[in-house]
Each structure stands twice: as C-alpha cells, then as structure tokens.
Amino acid sequence: MTADSRETSQKEQVKTANREIYLPSERKNISGGGTPHVVAKDFSIYYGEFEAVKKVNADILSRYVTAIIGPSGCGKSTFLRAINRMNDLIPSCHTTGALRFDGEDIYGKFTDEVLLRKKIGMVFQKPNPFPKSIFDNIAYGPRLHGLNDRKQLAEIVERSLRKAALWDEVSDRLDKNALGLSGGQQQRLCVARALAVEPEILLLDEPTSALDPKATAKIEDLIQELRGSYTIMIVTHNMQQASRVSDYTMFFYEGVLVEYARTAQLFTNPKDRMTEDYITGRFS
C-alpha cells in the first residue's frame, strides 16, 4: 500500500468512526467518583467554517484521570480548552451540540465563565507564574473571589502548596518572586494556584512538555496524588505519560473521538485500527 492510499483509507476510517456515546463500561472503584462530570453530546467546535472537533459524545468521569491523545491538530487541546471556555478568547470560535458540567450547559446563556473557571482550573504547557511572590501567586485567585483575611489566605496558600507537593521546597521563601523557581517548581506552583480556588476539575494541557524527566516525574506523581479528589483531564503527546497517569484515554484524530476506553485496555488491545496504528507509531 502506498503512503497516499494508506492515508486516504485512514481518512475514510475517520469518516466512518463510531460516534455513539462512549461510556467506559469498567470503572475502578474510587469513593465518590465515577459519575459523569463533564458530558459531551454531539459537541462540535468550529473555527469559522472549520469543524475542529466533530460531534463528540463522551462522559468524563468524576475523580478519575482522563488522558487525551492524538496527533498535532487533531482537536485534543481545542476540546480540553472548551471545557472551561478558554476558546471564547478566539473570536471565530463557536460550538454546536451540548457540553455539560454537573448537568449545567457550559455554553448556556447564563453561564458565568469566571465562576466556571473557578470550578474548572487549568494548567498550561509553559509554566506561567505571575511576576509576584510565591504567596501572592497562590493567594491571587482567592483574593479575586473576595477573600482578604491574611490568616485564611495563609492557610489556603499552605494547603495548596502541600497538595501540589511544593510546600517543603518553598515554605521558607514564600515572599520571594515565583519567577526564581525552577521550571518544574513553577509548574507545580501553577497547579497549586489552580487548586487554591478549590476547583472540581483540573485541565492540564501538556503540563510537562517543557520540563526535564525529574520534574516530569514529580508532576506525574502529583497527578496520582490528586486523583480521587479532583477530576483530571490531561492532554499529552507523551503516550507513556498517558498510560502511566490516566485511568481512561481518549484518542482523537482529525477532530473525531475515535476511541475512548480504559487506559489499560486502550494500550494493550485497542478496538480501533487507527488507535492501534497511532499508539504503535505507524502514523503520526
């Protein structure tokens, strides 16, 4: 088979990919978790005329880690960013279908996106601490939401830094500028900052792609620590990372959710040929 004909047949497969509602059947037992937290129904995202995410149907389960994988430009980051409406910043971006968080329509008329982003925190590829002290970085969100009591803020800062496994490294220099931290520490600071406003969901968009292996391992450990307390969604290009940290994995290709299954299942016995070809490196 030539490269061209193989590509064509893959595209044909995309068109015929199953678009039924994906609900992984086997669920691990996490206390209080496993209920649909974010639900997509025929959810599409457009940039102008271009349909970047095509009629996705999926239930994201609460308190589990869900990884999103797929080649560049497949719509995985677009889908992730849609969950806390980060795509609103792009004027030509609009959506069809429904995306619900705890049963409420994320793109509903009366949805308050500031409140939405409080409940759905996000950490980006490149650590982006504010040019402020470590303390102020963490206290920023709670202050924005009206909290000014220094003692309460100090409690939140400590709790968040502890949850992000950073407290021991920075507790003696909270007043120092956050930009003085290493890249890995800055990224954990960003996780702590997201946790400070007590979100329910944490969206991680390639959170370790700018980090070295040691800092990456710490972020991965942190994801495992937070699993069970938060619903975590992580976009990653690193397939080993997806397989290490997640309970469920979604595979996107050309905007279509091709396969969504338990991570162990998807990485040992994927049901779709395209998933198989992608994760075994037969196309990228």
Partner 1 sequence: MSDRPVHELIKELSESLVQLSDKVLQNFYNALTAVKNQDEQQAREIRLVDDEIDLTEVRLEERCLAFLALQQPVARDLRTIVTIMKINDDLERIGDLAVHIIERMPEINSEMLDKFDFETMGHHAGEMTARSIEAFVNKDRILADRVEAMDEEIDAMHSAVFKKVARQMKDSEADIDQLIAALSISRYIERMADHATRIAGEVIYLVTGEIARHSESSYEKLIQSLKD
By beta-carbon proximity to partner 1, the closer residue of 171 and 240 is 240
Binding region for partner 1 (CB under 8 A) out of 86-94, 165-173, 224-232, 269-277: 269-277
Give the H or E element holding residue 50. strand 50-61
* Shortest separation between residue 208's beta carbon and partner 1, angstroms: 16
- Interface characters, 209-248, with partner 1 (x: CB under 8 A): ------------------------------xx--x-----
By beta-carbon proximity to partner 1, the closer residue of 9 and 152 is 9
Kindly tell me the burial class for residue 272, based on how many C-beta atoms sit within 10 Å of its own C-beta (0-12, 13-18, 19 or more): middle
By beta-carbon proximity to partner 1, the closer residue of 101 and 251 is 251
- Measure the CA–CA gap between 255 and 74, rounded to whole angstroms: 5
Measured in degrees and rounded to the nearest 5, phi and psi for residue 103 equal: 85, -15
- Measure the CA–CA gap between 38 and 174, rounded to whole angstroms: 35
CA-to-CA dists, residue 80 to 39, 179, 247, 252, 261, angstroms: 12, 27, 17, 12, 17
Binding region for partner 1 (CB under 8 A) out of 36-44, 102-110, 217-225, 268-276: 268-276
Kindly tell me the burial class for residue 63, based on how many C-beta atoms sit within 10 Å of its own C-beta (0-12, 13-18, 19 or more): buried
* Shortest separation between residue 171's beta carbon and partner 1, angstroms: 37
By beta-carbon proximity to partner 1, the closer residue of 91 and 281 is 281
CB neighbours (10 Å) of residue 31? Answer: 7
Number of residues that bind partner 1 (CB under 8 A): 18
Q: Contact between 268 and partner 1 (CB under 8 A)?
A: yes
Where on the chain is the footprint of partner 1 (CB under 8 A)?
1, 3, 6-7, 239-240, 243, 267-270, 275-276, 279-283
